[in-house]
Copies of this chain bind each other. A is one copy, B any other.
Amino acid sequence: MKLFDYFRSGAAYRVRIALNLKGIPVDHASVHLRRGEQRGEAYLRLNPQGLVPALVTDGGDVLTQSLAIIHWLEARYPEPSLLPQEPLQRARVEAFVYAIVCDTHPVQNLKVLNKLRAMGHSEDEVTGWAAWVNAEGLGACEKLVAAQPGPFCFGDQPSLADVCLVPQLGNARRFKVDVSAFPRLLQAEAAAKAHPAFQAAAPEQQADFEA
């Protein structure tokens, strides 16, 4: 399989972590977002939405949207599972996941920030917007796991919540959010960062990394 990827994309980072947790090797193709390669003709033929990641399966099917890809991986490679089987606990994990994947990440992605720039906002204002979105979303997440056992978000094994949390905390720091306000999230992140699957998926470990 081949993952169309970019070292800094939070959505691609989620898929890299999920692949590593399940021990699935893939080839990587870098789509340079800052140079606009996601809007190039070749990539748009693959993913008309012009977003990374996209996963091309061994059968040649193209999967897009990080969560759709991860759910497909769950179905095809069920072990280790990233979501609880019990419906109520699964709904709790998913509420956390969607607080990041819907309410936080898309409101501070490159396209939205570029739109703010095009509307005349300064870099400080753009960073302030992204920091606001991250602080709101992570603040909600902190409450959602406050009563959950650690060290991961939901217990002693990583779940889809941790898969989504770690990239988002990376974004939050990049936008200068004071993440010390989220001690329970930092506990989960520390557990994740000690795990080889998360370590190998980190942006600075990717072939296309630029400092």
Contacts and interface: CB of A to CB of B under 8 A. Distances in A.
A82 interface: no
A63 interface: yes
Interface residues of A, number: 44
Contacts of A102: 65, 67, 101-102, 105-106
Interface string A101-140: 1110111000110010001010001000100100010001
B99 A65 contact: yes
B72 A91 contact: yes
A72 B88 contact: yes
Contacts of A101: 98, 102
Contact of A103 (B63, B106, B136, B144): B106
A115 B132 contact: yes
Interface in A48-107: 48-49, 51, 57, 61, 63-69, 71-72, 75-76, 87-88, 90-92, 94-95, 97-99, 101-103, 105-107
A125 B119 contact: yes
Nearest to A88: B61
Contacts of A112: 107
A195 interface: no
A174 interface: no
Contacts of A76: 87
Given A115-B132, A119-B121, A125-B119, A91 B105 contact: no
Interface of A: 48-49, 51, 57, 61, 63-69, 71-72, 75-76, 87-88, 90-92, 94-95, 97-99, 101-103, 105-107, 111-112, 115, 119, 121, 125, 129, 132, 136, 140, 143-144
30 contacts: A48-B144, A49-B99, A49-B103, A49-B144, A63-B88, A63-B91, A63-B95, A65-B94, A65-B95, A65-B99, A67-B94, A67-B102, A68-B92, A68-B94, A68-B95, A68-B97, A68-B98, A69-B91, A71-B90, A72-B91, A75-B87, A75-B90, A101-B102, A106-B106, A106-B107, A111-B136, A115-B129, A115-B132, A119-B125, A119-B129
